[in-house]
Amino acid sequence: MLGKLETVFSYAAHFILQSWPEKRPGILFLTDSTGRVINTMDMQVGQPWKPQELDLSLHAAPAGKMYDPVKSALHSGEIAVATYAENSLVLAVFPLRERDGYVRATIGIAAPQEEISFDLASYMRGLEPLIRMGYDAYIQHATSQIIMELSVHDTTRSLLSNLTGEIAEVIQKGYCSAVKLSENGTLLMHDMVTTEAVDKEQSQISQIVAELGTSPIAPAILKENRLIIMPVSWNKKMLYGLFLHLSPDETDCVYDERDVAFLQEVADKASSALWRVMMSEELRREANKKNLLYQLMSKIQASIDVNDVLHEIVTSIPSLYPNYSVDLFLTVEPDATTPVKQLSLQEERGSTSTRAYLEGHLIVEDIVENGQAKTVIAAPLLGKQGIYGVLQITSDQVVSPSPYETDYISILADTAGKAFENAQLYQQSRNLIRELRLINEMARQLNRSLNLSEILEFVTTMMRATFDAEFCALLRKEPGEESFEVLAASIPEYTGKIVTANEKPFQQILQNKQTLLLAQPGSGPLPFSLVPSCSLMGVPLIVEGEISGVLLVADSRYHFFSFDDYKLLEIFGQHASLAMTNAVLHTEMERMVITDNLTSLYTRRHLNERVRASLEQDSHGSLILIDIDYFKQVNDTFGHQVGDEVLIQVSNLIRQSIRDTDIAARWGGEELAVYLPRVDEATAHAVAERIRRCVEMETSPQVTISSGLAKWNKEIDANLSVEALFYQADLALYEAKNSGRNQVVLA
């Protein structure tokens, strides 16, 4: 799948190493389809295991009989396990098999036989979901990298060229193509991008498009898994179809479900960027078309004011046609100084202007008015979203206007109609562009950090700059509490303040779980204790259906916030909520990785890392290894559940007896450890004695502990390793256990 086996292997290895029993040496390795080793990794971090009998040199197959299980897994597609008594080695190999049965690579584990007390074949079978997790992580990473690169493109073709190239680079087989889709999802052959290095007429994708015909496309896997079709859409609007297709020369491979999953993920995530670029191009094409079509009316085109447009039309036509009078009939009443008439559909349904409006096209007819024969030309003011009125030109006699003249009048009417829309949408467009830029910048900045403090500071700064309000804040509500705490505010002294949830703004937000916009209609401020205000907006931050906080913007000026501000703050809330949730989850994940589930102490691996750092940075320190005396009797007498409770009690007592800067960890089983950076031997001994007394006096059922204390000093122990320090403490602990227990022995 997807080509880059080493990258997938690195992701999968992360999950595999988490499942491997601690203190068990071994080597994790990856081979290609020929059995050559292309990557290796130690199963035990910081403690490499490299027996002389095992040859796992890169870019070569394992030497001798060690190749047999690799070959067996490659040929049979099944897990192979081999034990070598003469070398006391065991080797297990897991085949990475694709949908068609082809084994593209293998993942193997080599370990000393005496250390493997479990069924290695069963363990290997259990690796399948971990490997799938590695694939999924790689898909997410590869997709994110691709999507990040799409933001720099401003044309559809350059974006699609980059997108198809990146997809093909990841898949590493066949070609990737993109074909434009019509509104109903049919393929438009004239607009396509492909990674094939041939002319469009000779390309394979052209043949595929011809074979699919005019039927709307849908996600599909065709031609015995040699063709994948994935449409890209945005808000149900069809954009392009993405294709993965294998050339006829590639007869030994097909696409599998991971290729499909990757293409689906990219299609979903790339749709927004593709839509943005397509809309940008569409706007540019429309501007160019209007510029060519209305070049004779540059003043009208240059104006975005309805009054200026109407004035230009009314004044320019008489100068061109002196014998014509001009009337503008509108269905709306514009804010304009140019005289216009109201178009009423209830009266004179047979009039020329009414018919032109109802039928939606230019009408030329001769009429008699007050005994005078006249020619009336009525053209509807057409916009993209509707008809806004009628431009009527009336001669004082019967005339026969040329097609050129009627075309010109139609252009004038079309220009007037579009001018109405442009004038109404101009400010909305500017606001929308500003909002999109803000949202894009906000999303970009929020995605750069998983630090909650940085996110809070950025959100409040962004709100202050965007809404220009006097007060902006982000408040947090803890589950079950009836109050909000100010986490961050544009006025720093407000940070940390508590506001009850029964105040009016929070009551409405909690009740409706929707963005709130309040404007005080009277002469006084809103009833809100946090800050005096006459205008206020609040958006709830919702996590898993529950309100976890509120984004608040307030100002003392009346009616300060618009509806556009209201919608923009709502979008801000969505991004802020997601970013904060990600930051909290990231922090919690980091905590879980370094914390023992039962005791809530640090893990042995984290302790090793902290001790190693202290040996490099500090001048001295002390280590206490602790073992609960007769712990097996506790388990045998009271049961393992009570044994766990005793472990928790002892851990809590240790935590209460040391500083926040000290590191307490679960060493393994009933063995615990405490490292005291920059603490001398006498102080460390006092701490160990304090812990011993607390455990003896406060545990129930009562237990005692034995402790071994080792200290180090950089002047004396310049090259001391973590392992050597623990070995000294372990010897002291052994002596404490053998000389009566319930005591502290110095190394």
Mean pLDDT of 661-681: 90
Distance, CA of 626 to CA of 733 (rounded, Å): 7
Q: What is the pLDDT of residue 1?
A: 43
Position 614 in a domain: yes
Residues 118 and 85 in one domain: yes
Q: What are phi and psi of 67, to 5 degrees?
A: -80, -20
Does the global pTM surpass 0.85? no
Position 381 in a domain: yes
For 87, counting Cβ atoms within 10 Å of its Cβ (0-12 exposed, 13-18 middle, 19+ buried), the class is middle
Task: Look at the block and give the residue holding tokens 């007896």.
Answer: 657
Highest averaged pLDDT of the listed ranges 133-142, 211-220, 333-342: 211-220
Position 77 in a domain: yes
Q: What is the pLDDT of residue 535?
A: 82
Residue 628's nearest CA partner among 659, 611, 658, 653 is 653
Q: What is the pLDDT of residue 171?
A: 83
Reported confidence tier of residue 106, pLDDT bands at 50, 70, 90: confident
Q: What angle do CA 552, 555, 557 make, to 5 degrees?
A: 150
Q: Which residue has the higher pLDDT, 220 or 370?
A: 220
Structural domain of 85: 5-137
Q: What share of the chain has pLDDT > 90, as a percent?
A: 12
**Beta pairing class for 80-84 and 663-668:** unpaired
Q: Lowest mean pLDDT of 81-85, 192-196, 629-633, 663-667, name the range.
A: 81-85
Q: Tokens standing for 672?
A: 């615990």
**Residue-wise burial string across 629-644, b where 16 or more C-beta atoms lie within 10 A, e elsewhere:** bebeebbeeeeeeebe
Residue 41's nearest CA partner among 50, 32, 33 is 50
Q: Is the dihedral of CA 592, 598, 599, 604 positive or negative?
A: negative
Mean pLDDT of 430-458: 65
CATH of the domain at 727: 3.30.70.270
Highest averaged pLDDT of the listed ranges 23-37, 404-418, 517-531: 23-37
Query: Domain boundary residue among 589, 619, 635?
Result: 589
Q: What is the pLDDT of residue 463?
A: 76
Q: What is the pLDDT of residue 581?
A: 63
Residues 722 and 620 in one domain: yes
Q: What is the pLDDT of residue 585?
A: 56
Q: Are 74 and 101 contacting, i.e. CB atoms less than 8 angstroms apart?
A: no
Highest averaged pLDDT of the listed ranges 102-111, 180-189, 537-546, 677-686: 677-686
For 508, counting Cβ atoms within 10 Å of its Cβ (0-12 exposed, 13-18 middle, 19+ buried), the class is middle
Residues 574 and 545 in one domain: yes
Q: What is the pLDDT of residue 714?
A: 87
Determine how many CB atoms are found less than 10 A away from the CB of residue 453: 11
CATH of the domain at 381: 3.30.450.40
Q: What is the pLDDT of residue 169?
A: 84
Q: Are 49 and 67 contacting, i.e. CB atoms less than 8 angstroms apart?
A: no
pLDDT digits (tens, 9 = 90+) for 41-74: 888 766 777 777 778 888 888 877 888 888 888 8
Distance, CA of 472 to CA of 459 (rounded, Å): 9
pLDDT digits (tens, 9 = 90+) for 309-320: 667 667 766 666
Mean pLDDT of 496-500: 81
Residues 340 and 474 in one domain: no
Q: What is the pLDDT of residue 676?
A: 92
Position 400 in a domain: yes
Q: What's the length of the chain?
A: 747
pLDDT surpasses 60 at 288: no
- The DSSP code for 78 is S
Q: What is the pLDDT of residue 203?
A: 85
Residues 645 and 729 in one domain: yes
pLDDT surpasses 90 at 235: no
Q: What is the pLDDT of residue 556?
A: 81
Residues 467 and 571 in one domain: yes
Task: Look at the block and give the residue holding tokens 């004082």.
Answer: 396
pLDDT surpasses 80 at 98: no
Residues 540 and 672 in one domain: no
Distance, CA of 718 to CA of 678 (rounded, Å): 15
Mean pLDDT of the chain: 79
Reported confidence tier of residue 678, pLDDT bands at 50, 70, 90: very high
Position 91 in a domain: yes
Q: What is the pLDDT of residue 675?
A: 92
Q: Whole-angstrom distance between the N-terminal and C-terminal Cα of the chain?
A: 55
- The DSSP code for 668 is E
- Could you tell me the CA-to-CA distances from 701 to 634, 643, 652, 653, 655 in Å, in that order? 8, 9, 15, 14, 19
Query: Domain boundary residue among 137, 160, 186?
Result: 137
Reported confidence tier of residue 295, pLDDT bands at 50, 70, 90: very low
**Beta pairing class for 535-543 and 546-555:** antiparallel
Which residues of 335-371 form beta strands (DSSP E)?
Answer: 341-342, 363-369
Mean pLDDT of 143-149: 82
Reported confidence tier of residue 241, pLDDT bands at 50, 70, 90: very high
Residues 126 and 159 in one domain: no
Q: What is the DSSP string of 444-474?
A: HHHHT---HHHHHHHHHHHHHHHH--SEEEE
Q: What is the pLDDT of residue 289?
A: 40
Residues 556 and 474 in one domain: yes
Determine how many CB atoms are found less than 10 A away from the CB of residue 611: 24
Position 433 in a domain: no
Residues 267 and 308 in one domain: no
Q: What is the pLDDT of residue 127?
A: 73
Q: Lowest mean pLDDT of 270-274, 420-424, 510-514, 554-558, name the range.
A: 420-424
Mean pLDDT of 512-536: 72
Q: Lowest mean pLDDT of 119-123, 255-259, 454-458, 661-665, name the range.
A: 454-458
Query: Domain boundary residue among 261, 285, 309?
Result: 285
Reported confidence tier of residue 296, pLDDT bands at 50, 70, 90: very low
Q: What is the pLDDT of residue 595?
A: 81
Domain count, the chain: 5
Residues 242 and 360 in one domain: no
Position 292 in a domain: no
- CB within 8 A of 318, min separation 6: which ones? 324, 325, 326
Mean pLDDT of 415-436: 67
Q: What is the pLDDT of residue 652?
A: 92
Mean pLDDT of 37-42: 84
- Could you tell me the CA-to-CA distances from 488 to 119, 184, 263, 444 in Å, in that order? 54, 48, 41, 20
Distance, CA of 93 to CA of 73 (rounded, Å): 6
Q: Which residue has the higher pLDDT, 370 or 434?
A: 370
* Helix-then-strand count for the chain, H and E: 19, 26
pLDDT surpasses 90 at 677: yes
Position 430 in a domain: no
- Could you tell me the CA-to-CA distances from 463 to 1, 467, 474, 571 in Å, in that order? 45, 6, 10, 12
pLDDT surpasses 70 at 362: yes
Q: What are phi and psi of 99, to 5 degrees?
A: -60, -35
Q: What share of the chain has pLDDT > 70, as a percent?
A: 81
Residues 454 and 386 in one domain: no
